[in-house]
Structure 1
Amino acid sequence: MTKLVWDLEDLFPFDDFEKEYSEIEKQIGLTDCHFKEMNPDMSLEVFKNFLLFSEEISARILHLYYRAALEETADISSDNFRMLKNRVLDLDKNFSEKSRKIWHWIRGKEVSGKVLLDEKNANRLFGVLPALKDYLFHLRKTAPHILSDREEMILAEKDLSGISPLLELRNIIETGFEFEFKPSGQKARKIRTQAELLSYTHSSVRSEREAAYNALLEKYRDNISKFFTAYRGAVRDWSFEASLRNYTSSLDMRNSMNRIPGEAVKSLLEACRGNRFIYQEYFKIKASDLKIKNFQRHDIYAPVGEKVNEIPLDEGLELVLDVFKSFSPSFYKAAKEIVDMKHIDSEPQQNKQGGAFCASPGAGKAPYILLNYTGQPRDVLTLAHELGHGIHSLLAGNLPLSVMQAGLPLAETASTFSEMLVFEQLLKRTKSKEGRKSLYFQKMQDSFATVLRQAYFVLFEIEAHEALKKGLTPDGLSEIYYKLLVEEFGEGVKINEIFKYEWAYIPHIVNSPFYCYSYAFGELLSLALLAEYKREKQGFVPVMEEILSVGGSEDPVEILKSHSFDITKKDFWDKGFREIEQLFEGLKETLH
């Protein structure tokens, strides 16, 4: 096996695309008939029929979307597949608009021409499909934050004509950058893409790392007024909607979307801030190993240790499957199904999308996984991570599509957990001290980027959103960011002034305010569960499988609490950091 190529025909034959599209369009037209039947006294059968109708259309649209979108990822230059994908998105928008009045009514909102759905009848109706019961009651809980049908329509149009073009304009400015790369002692040259420039931030040549960051951040510094205007507009838009929807704060709106209580996020951020010293000590160790006395921000991703031998795809896949088999027959069976169904595309190709992801179509179809496997140990961990997502989807595969996928608190549980299991196996099979050192350094680097860096983005956002309400200049915003950078890295890492403009480069804080804590959340939750597995071993496996099998059909906080995991307490998050400390201790052992 030299490569894996996915079989998209298994989703449905591409020749049937137009036929399927037309049938879904006709089916959406029946939504009005279901709306007419909405009444507090309606029969259980009539209400159940609507829920099944909604689930079926959603599943068919998702399959249609992935049929086009997955083809596009294999050839991102294809205008045809992009056009088909956008047509499906329009179809989905049409269904959302058609069914919005029904979901407003289910939430208990007033809808013109309809009798309000009271609590007694809601209790009677919502149990008709047990897997959707918690989801439906959650919708009613969010009713105070939902506007009238007309107001929701206006907000949707406002996004299309307001914030979306602003963010698109920001992206146009950014993608138009051409960078002057001039490392010390080398001839200056032009670099046309950000991706190529960023590859030098991991260079073994220090002057190239510094030159790459300078070339990148000087562009944002020179255009800081433009990026400040875009960010201020995004903050105002988010804050306006949060206020309009009766949230107590801008952060509260994100927490509500994620079904996470504010005290859990507060505890998470406190734990990250309180444990930042682990990473600060790590950077001191890295500086010492690299023999850099004046360790600076542009040095943090410098490569360390010997290059580990490449792991062919066959060998990497066998290693991952063996780890799953040792952990749980259910994990192994699900992962093997994805492989055997030919739902993985592994090989880097020209015009293929970079990175990796797992797409879960649901409704009886195994997930699809995109990789760009080059044989590095990191690629083996990525394979384990994405298969973990696929395992999660298959374990929850008997649920309706709308609740099959776990929400943020549990979305990264299986993937990160699987990755850590495989990482420990990679350590066992790597005999040389230098090879183990390289693995540990890479893992600590990834941990920093996923946990502390993301948490500090959110800490910046919290301060920035409040400061912008009172009036703030671009320099003032940059000073807030710089102050937090100094706190984040401590005395062991010198922060050059140019990094105060880094906030303008971070897309998530503009496109998805406060989203970044999700990365730290998922990583630390999985590490805390890994600690429990190490303590309980096989007694923990059924617990893990049960947590994953509920998908998004139950309140994630309550699911975890039922197994004595309280994510609202800082102590819980500290357990994850104890695992990171163990990684750090393992690294230090390779240095002696």
Structure 2
Amino acid sequence: MSHEWLLTELYESYESSAYQADFETLRNSYAKLNEIELVDTLPTIKQVVELNETIANLSYRLSAYSNLQLSTNTTHEPSLTALAKLSKLVSENAKISAKINRFLGNIKTDISQDEHLSQYSFYFEELHQVASHLLSDEVEEVISTMNLSAGDAWNQLHSFLTSTVEGTFDDKTVTLSDIRNLAYSDDADVRKRAYETELEMYQTVKEPVAFAINNIKSQFNDIARLRGYDSAIDITLDASRMSKATLDALMGAIEDALPAFRRYLKHKASLLGHQNGLPFYDLFAPIGKTASRKFTVEESRDYLVDIFSKFSPDLAELTQEIYDKQYVDMFPRKGKVGGAFCMNLPFLKQSRILMNFDGTLRNVVTMAHELGHAYHGLHIEDHLVLNRSYTMPVAETASTFNENIVMNTAIAQSNNEEKIALIESSLQDTTQIIVDIYSRYLFESALFEQRKEKFLFSKDLEALMLDAQEKAYGDGLDPEVKHPYMWLCKGHYYYPHLSFYNFPYAFGGLFSKGLYALYMQEPDGFVEKYQEMLRATTVSTVEETAKKMGVDVTTKEFWATALAEYEKEIDAFIELTSEV
């Protein structure tokens, strides 16, 4: 079994007739769109929508091919060239795209008269909202064109620097992905030295990366102001199809629950012999005898297929397919980006998953997480082309629900000694999506505000991050051993068109935890409702999607109930480890 993904079903190469034909079709579709006389009639609207469908489908397919190539080789010149050419084509047509969106967002024609268009009712509602914040066609064109050498370029710089920076550990050359994976080592000395090496590796890249994050956030602030938004978070909430009431309820419930997580962290610190809170390098320290188990790729596949088959056959079948058909790129290597992600390819009815697999249970859970994204893609792939986009908060629901399935199954099958390792592993992940995500939310909020007034050098960004960690982790972390460079290693901060990609993880984690509790209480009929909810994510607001499961996310009550489930795990962990 090869452990590098196959992309030939997208295209054989950039020189292939299929790639060249799709690029020309995309170019011609833009040209046809530009020639249409925009009158508010049903035939014109249908013609515009059909061309928009072609443009959306082909631009996504072409960019996916390049971005997937670059994720495993950030210096791949043909992909950089092709992506630049595609980006140039898109930016050159930004003016007509803005004009079309403005036209569709302001139509008065009753689209319910047409069977095809009537399926786009939510799409048209969103366009109406977007149109209210659009600038003139000329300004939209300038923004899109300038972004190629602004936000997009700064994002590429961050990816390049963090994927190519090298360090030395035990006389071996290591990448950031290599060294960060050692945070999960069962050797305390390795964890501490890896942490120190990681911080040292940032020294040569921290200032240029600081320039990247400053300019990306400044650009986002400027565009928010020009479009008439009060703040950057308002753009994100609109794009998330989420109300401020829901965000406030979520963050308020998390803040209320922080003492329980600090109790867990301090208890873990005491188990590891620390007296002043947990050092950052021991956040992921394994505890318990099963924590050191290593999986081969094939063992991870069989493990996940078996567990998922008990929830839903289509999830198990999807898992088997992704492993067996080389839809996953497994192992770290120089030039490959860190972390993990899943990219849905609905035009192929497939997905691709990138991993940096090290064989630990934690990595198997990460694979389950990414398979959740693929499962989400499975249940929206039959939507019309312009109805396939889901937003950030619900993007993490299926992924974290999968984590719940795997961890709860493993815990249920274990004895008390094994439970210690499994519950603690689960709490590691939970602490990341609740406490660390809260710190990232605080950091990014402060960064956006301060960037309005000044440039922040690395030392300023480090201070912001340490302050955010203090507010989130409190006395759960050793105040002398935090991580001042978490702003540097997390790629989410560097997306020029997307900010605050932090609270969606908390939303997804808590939402899925609450849903899993519902599943355990009443499994009959749950899977069908769950699949219906996933399908609704692309054509509903966050609040409407939650109602499919009978849940109100605009109040703290639901979130507090989900957080209480995590507190039960904390109590169980402390009780089990206090008995040992």
Partner of 1:425: 409
* Residue of structure 1 aligned with 2:331, choices 341, 344, 348: 348
| Partner secondary structure for residue 457 of structure 1 | helix
Q: In structure 1, how many angstroms separate the alpha carbons of the residues matched to 2:155 and 2:370?
A: 29
Q: Is residue 2:49 matched to residue 1:51?
A: yes
C-alpha displacement of 1:584: 2.1
Measured against aligned partners, the alpha-carbon deviations of 1:480-536 in whole angstroms (never above 9, x if no partner) come to 543432232223432118755655665544545422222222222211211221222
* 1:106-505 matches, cutoff 5 A: 106-108=104-106, 117=107, 120-121=108-109, 123=111, 128-165=116-153, 193-204=175-186, 206=188, 209-214=191-196, 216-217=198-199, 231-295=213-277, 296-306=279-289, 307-336=291-320, 338=322, 342-345=325-328, 347-348=330-331, 350=333, 353=336, 355-431=339-415, 433-469=416-452, 479-496=463-480, 499=483, 503=487
- Whether contact under 8 Å (1:457, 1:509) holds in the other structure is no
C-alpha displacement of 1:266: 1.7
| Partner secondary structure for residue 552 of structure 1 | coil
- Whether contact under 8 Å (1:485, 1:495) holds in the other structure is no
Q: 1:339 to 1:53 in 2, by over 3 A?
A: farther
Q: Is residue 2:563 matched to residue 1:577?
A: yes
Measured against aligned partners, the alpha-carbon deviations of 1:448-494 in whole angstroms (never above 9, x if no partner) come to 12221112121233234334545687677655543432232223432
Q: In structure 2, how many angstroms separate the alpha carbons of the residues matched to 1:485 and 1:349?
A: 28
- Whether contact under 8 Å (2:246, 2:555) holds in the other structure is yes
Measured against aligned partners, the alpha-carbon deviations of 1:27-70 in whole angstroms (never above 9, x if no partner) come to 532444444444444234x4323323322343234334444544
| Partner secondary structure for residue 145 of structure 1 | coil
C-alpha displacement of 1:413: 1.6
| Partner secondary structure for residue 408 of structure 2 | helix
Gapped regions of structure 2 (runs ≥ 5): none
TM-score (norm 1): 0.83
* 1:521-540 matches, cutoff 5 A: 521-540=507-526
C-alpha displacement of 1:226: 6.5
Q: In structure 2, how many angstroms separate the alpha carbons of the residues matched to 1:229 and 1:161?
A: 14
| Partner secondary structure for residue 523 of structure 2 | helix
Deviates more, 1:556-565 or 1:10-19: 10-19
Q: Is residue 2:101 matched to residue 1:103?
A: yes
Gapped regions of structure 1 (runs ≥ 5): 109-116, 182-186
Measured against aligned partners, the alpha-carbon deviations of 1:415-439 in whole angstroms (never above 9, x if no partner) come to 21122112222224444x4433222
Superposed CA RMSD: 3.7
Q: In structure 1, how many angstroms separate the alpha carbons of the residues matched to 2:368 and 2:481?
A: 39
| Partner secondary structure for residue 479 of structure 2 | coil
Q: In structure 2, how many angstroms separate the alpha carbons of the residues matched to 1:224 and 1:5?
A: 31
Deviates more, 1:270-279 or 1:512-521: 512-521
| Partner secondary structure for residue 153 of structure 1 | helix
- Whether contact under 8 Å (2:465, 2:487) holds in the other structure is yes
Partner of 1:25: 24
- Whether contact under 8 Å (2:253, 2:560) holds in the other structure is yes
2:252 is aligned with what amino acid? E
Q: 1:404 to 1:204 in 2, by over 3 A?
A: same
Q: In structure 2, how many angstroms separate the alpha carbons of the residues matched to 1:132 and 1:315?
A: 43
Partner of 1:60: 58
| Partner secondary structure for residue 575 of structure 1 | helix
- Whether contact under 8 Å (2:529, 2:548) holds in the other structure is no
Deviates more, 1:548-557 or 1:132-141: 548-557
TM-score (norm 2): 0.85
Q: 1:179 to 1:364 in 2, by over 3 A?
A: closer
- Whether contact under 8 Å (2:292, 2:360) holds in the other structure is yes
- Whether contact under 8 Å (2:318, 2:375) holds in the other structure is yes
1:545 is aligned with what amino acid? Q
* Residue of structure 2 aligned with 1:588, choices 540, 553, 574: 574
Measured against aligned partners, the alpha-carbon deviations of 1:224-277 in whole angstroms (never above 9, x if no partner) come to 877666554444332221111111222112212222112211222222221112
Measured against aligned partners, the alpha-carbon deviations of 1:165-223 in whole angstroms (never above 9, x if no partner) come to 55666677767867687xxxxx9x79664344434544555555445545554676899
- Whether contact under 8 Å (1:220, 1:227) holds in the other structure is no
2:17 is aligned with what amino acid? E
- Whether contact under 8 Å (2:260, 2:567) holds in the other structure is yes
- Whether contact under 8 Å (1:343, 1:367) holds in the other structure is no
Q: 1:468 to 1:67 in 2, by over 3 A?
A: closer
- Whether contact under 8 Å (2:390, 2:537) holds in the other structure is yes
Q: 1:586 to 1:22 in 2, by over 3 A?
A: same
Measured against aligned partners, the alpha-carbon deviations of 1:362-400 in whole angstroms (never above 9, x if no partner) come to 135322334455543233323322222222112212112
C-alpha displacement of 1:141: 1.4
| Partner secondary structure for residue 524 of structure 2 | helix
Percent identity at matched positions?
25
Q: 1:126 to 1:298 in 2, by over 3 A?
A: farther
Partner of 1:541: 527
- Whether contact under 8 Å (1:127, 1:133) holds in the other structure is no
- Whether contact under 8 Å (1:59, 1:362) holds in the other structure is no
Measured against aligned partners, the alpha-carbon deviations of 1:89-129 in whole angstroms (never above 9, x if no partner) come to 44554565554322221123xxxxxxxx4xx3265678742
C-alpha displacement of 1:297: 3.4
Q: 1:95 to 1:534 in 2, by over 3 A?
A: farther
Q: 1:172 to 1:428 in 2, by over 3 A?
A: closer
Q: In structure 2, how many angstroms separate the alpha carbons of the residues matched to 1:476 and 1:520?
A: 26
